[in-house]
Chain A
Amino acid sequence: MKLKVLYFASVREKVGKDAEELDVPAGVVTVAALRSHLRGCGGNYENAFAERALLRAAVNQDMVQPSARIKAGDEVAFFPPVTGG
């Protein structure tokens, strides 16, 4: 299943890129599952998506809970809690 995955702020720095097209296994159907999948990719990903990392996610530019469903073609973004204002 193909996804567009974006990384922002400290997540972007840890992963070492701001965006990529990923082809993930069909079983990866939630944001939480995608996070686990990315953690399993090793190297930079293991650090960026570590269990202890406090992360937020958006699907198609809407902030979502980890249980949110994802489908082919979605834009999924991972980032730390926001600090604007």
Chain B
Amino acid sequence: MRVAVQREVFDVGYEIKRISNNKKIGAVASFIGQVRDVAMTLEHYPGMTEKALAAIVEEAKKRWQVIDCTVIHRYGELKPTDPIVLVVVASAHRADAFAACEFLMDYLKTRAPFWKKEETPEGERWVEAKASDDQAAERWRQA
């Protein structure tokens, strides 16, 4: 399991390759989130961020078969099309890999202490949390 919070861009090909070197793994699912429309600055809570991400990974491991998993989230200044977050989940079968990957993203969006400030044509503004993100995280309670 690997959790990283970093300024630097990540290499998706490398991250997937390094996770897949295990004969028990039959499925690797990945998700990349990237900046849309306008440049932004991502702030986070050093220390808590790593803890929160590790806790979310532990939660996913309780619910699905997760053989290996990588979560990388960037902070700092990012431009449109820059990658922000990478989640890679490896399992024996695809159902667990897909579900755990989606769960990790949904929980990360509501529990990991990151904040986006966008540079819009009208000036800087803090992105507001979306109710749809809360709902997306909430549905895993019943799952």
Taking CB as reference atom, which chain A residue is nearest B87? A85
How many residues of chain A get a CB closer than 8 Å to chain B's CBs? 17
Question: How many whole Å from A70's CB to the nearest CB in chain B?
Answer: 16
How many residues of chain B get a CB closer than 8 Å to chain A's CBs? 28
Question: How many whole Å from A54's CB to the nearest CB in chain B?
Answer: 8
Chain A binder among B17-25, B59-67, B93-101, B124-132: B124-132
Per the 8 Å Cβ criterion, residues 103-143 of B in contact with A are: 105, 108-117, 126-129, 133
Number of A-B contacts (CB under 8 A): 76
In contact, A83 and B85 (Cβ under 8 angstroms): no
Per the 8 Å Cβ criterion, residues 19-69 of B in contact with A are: 33, 42-45, 47-48, 51-52
Give Cα distance in the complex from A34 to B120, angstroms: 34
B89 at the interface (CB under 8 A from A): no
In contact, B84 and A85 (Cβ under 8 angstroms): yes
A8 at the interface (CB under 8 A from B): yes
A5 at the interface (CB under 8 A from B): no
Question: How many whole Å from A25's CB to the nearest CB in chain B?
Answer: 26
Question: How many whole Å from B23's CB to the nearest CB in chain A?
Answer: 32
Question: How many whole Å from A78's CB to the nearest CB in chain B?
Answer: 11
In contact, A58 and B117 (Cβ under 8 angstroms): no
Give Cα distance in the complex from A84 to B115, angstroms: 6
Assuming the A-B contacts A9-B126, A10-B126, A63-B52, are A82 and B47 also in contact, with contact meaning beta carbons closer than 8 angstroms in the complex?
Answer: no
In contact, A84 and B108 (Cβ under 8 angstroms): yes
Q: Name the A residues within 8 Å of B110 (CB-CB).
A: 81-82
Q: Name the B residues within 8 Å of A82 (CB-CB).
A: 109-115, 129
Question: How many whole Å from B102's CB to the nearest CB in chain A?
Answer: 12
Taking CB as reference atom, which chain A residue is nearest B114? A84
Question: How many whole Å from A12's CB to the nearest CB in chain B?
Answer: 8
Q: Name the A residues within 8 Å of B33 (CB-CB).
A: 85
Q: Name the B residues within 8 Å of A83 (CB-CB).
A: 109, 114-116, 126-129
